[in-house]
Chain A
């Protein structure tokens, strides 16, 4: 069945360094992907999205890369700050579907 997974459950980076969070997906029919940030005790917060007709999209300090050939998604955070510490989820959705499938998440810890 369709599933979204992550290569690393935890990631620690030094403040100021760049962070890369990875996500693997298995459903080749997925055509829309979203990265969410979730802080402790709060709901997931939208960060950035990308559709399958693109391979890169940039936001403020964040970049999402999509490699459909190997079904891989990544989130790059530039100049990581303490406020970036959170759990990051990737989510995928099939075309014509409404069900977003989430992976288990990666916890990002920013070290001073």
Chain B
């Protein structure tokens, strides 16, 4: 499977704990995006990377959220001191960007439940 890969697919954590999600984009895609989706809603943009540079962050991305893409390949999204309101599906997507297209392709998502 050469699609966007996300891990873990499901995570249950206690309030106040830290969680980290990993995303492996489609090979040769230099843009990587993180979105958040709650039940019954469309995905909401969080942030995106062009190679290793984080170029845009949404106001939704509070100080407790941090994303990295250190080598321009995989990315991690960490949530510190989780709150119940963080419960959602975290979606990663990638695109070729300036290599040939801005169509974004999503992974299967990482479900977070904060109890």
Q: Which residues of A contact B (CB under 8 A)?
A: 4, 32, 34, 36, 42-46, 49, 89, 91, 93, 98-105
Q: A43-B91, A44-B91 are in contact. Are A89 and B102 (CB under 8 A)?
A: no
A-B contact count (CB 8 A): 51
| One of B12-20, B39-47, B63-71, B79-87 at the interface | B39-47
Count B interface residues, CB 8 Å. 23
Is residue B72 within 8 Å, beta carbon to beta carbon, of the partner chain?
Answer: no
Q: Can you name 27 A-B residue pairings with CB atoms under 8 Å?
A: A32-B102, A34-B104, A36-B106, A42-B108, A42-B109, A43-B106, A43-B107, A44-B106, A45-B106, A46-B106, A49-B103, A89-B42, A89-B43, A91-B42, A98-B31, A98-B48, A98-B55, A98-B56, A98-B102, A100-B43, A100-B45, A101-B45, A102-B44, A104-B40, A104-B41, A104-B42, A105-B42
Chain B residue, CB-CB nearest to A43: B106
Pairwise interchain contact A43-B108, C-beta atoms closer than 8 A:
yes
A100 to B35, CA, bound (A): 10
Chain A residues, CB < 8 A from B4: 43
Q: A98-B102, A99-B45 are in contact. Are A43 and B109 (CB under 8 A)?
A: yes
List 9 other contacts, CB 8 Å, given A89-B42, A99-B45, A105-B41: A32-B102, A44-B91, A44-B106, A46-B103, A91-B42, A98-B31, A99-B48, A101-B45, A105-B40
A93 to B55, CA, bound (A): 16
Pairwise interchain contact B45-A44, C-beta atoms closer than 8 A:
no
Chain B residue, CB-CB nearest to A46: B105
The 8 closest A-B pairs by CB, nearest first: A102-B42, A43-B106, A43-B108, A99-B45, A43-B109, A44-B106, A102-B43, A89-B42
